[in-house]
Amino acid sequence: GNSVTQMEGPVTLSEEAFLTINCTYTATGYPSLFWYVQYPGEGLQLLLKATKADDKGSNKGFEATYRKETTSFHLEKGSVQVSDSAVYFCALLSKSTFGDGTTLTVKP
Amino acid sequence: GAVVSQHPSRVICKSGTSVKIECRSLDFQATTMFWYRQFPKQSLMLMATSNEGSKATYEQGVEKDKFLINHASLTLSTLTVTSAHPEDSSFYICSASGGLSEQYFGPGTRLTVT
């Protein structure tokens, strides 16, 4: 079946540190992949997406590359800010499948 | 563009009563809407998928008689939690799709059943 496995959290970083949140997936075919961000008490906001192999999605300094050979879609940011503190979800929307979410806390 | 609203954002109801949550796509026609449930510090769990004018398709384990979904127009879907109980307390999130693979999410509704 379809599944998404995310790096377990929580993740705590200092401001300006490098961020990686791992995401791997299992699915038939080549689904589009998404990263969503959820701030406390709010719904999900699309962060970035990639629709085919080797595509790189990017937004607000975050990047993720669709790697078919490793079935991965890891989220990275070179320098995190306190305002990036949130929960991040990797998702296969075609199957409405979400990872468990990774809570990121960035300290000043 | 692609804005989805939910109403109410928070609701408190007494055990045994019913509560309706609305999900609207404000600037596009949503052929498909999805309803999710999220428990504290957990991921989203898909409850059901609805297509405009059709009956909703419920995920395994979701009681269709308890969680009534109506998708009467291309911009509105409603979720009614009937005879609510404290264990139904949760964060309910809807999303809408205009036909492509992307979903646009609403801000969520916090339901508390006392």
The alpha-carbon gap from A34 to the nearest alpha carbon of chain B, in Å, equals: 9
Q: Quick one: closest CA in A to B3, which residue? A: A45
Give the residue carrying structure tokens 């990036």.
Answer: A84
Give chain A positions within 8 Å (CB) of B41. Answer: 101, 103
Sheet holding A56-59, edge to edge: A19-21, A75-77, A62-65, A56-59
The pair phi, psi for residue A48, each rounded to 5°, is -165, 170
Residue keyed to tokens 């008490």: A41
* pLDDT tens per residue across span B46-88: 999 998 888 899 999 999 999 999 988 899 999 999 999 999 9
d(CA A93, CA A90): 9
Q: Average pLDDT of each block of 10 consecutive residues along chain A (108 residues)? A: 88 97 91 92 90 94 96 97 96 86 95
**pLDDT, mean over chain A:** 93
Question: pLDDT, tens digit, for every residue of A19-44?
Answer: 999 999 998 888 899 999 999 888 88
Contacts of B103 in chain A (CB under 8 A): 93, 96
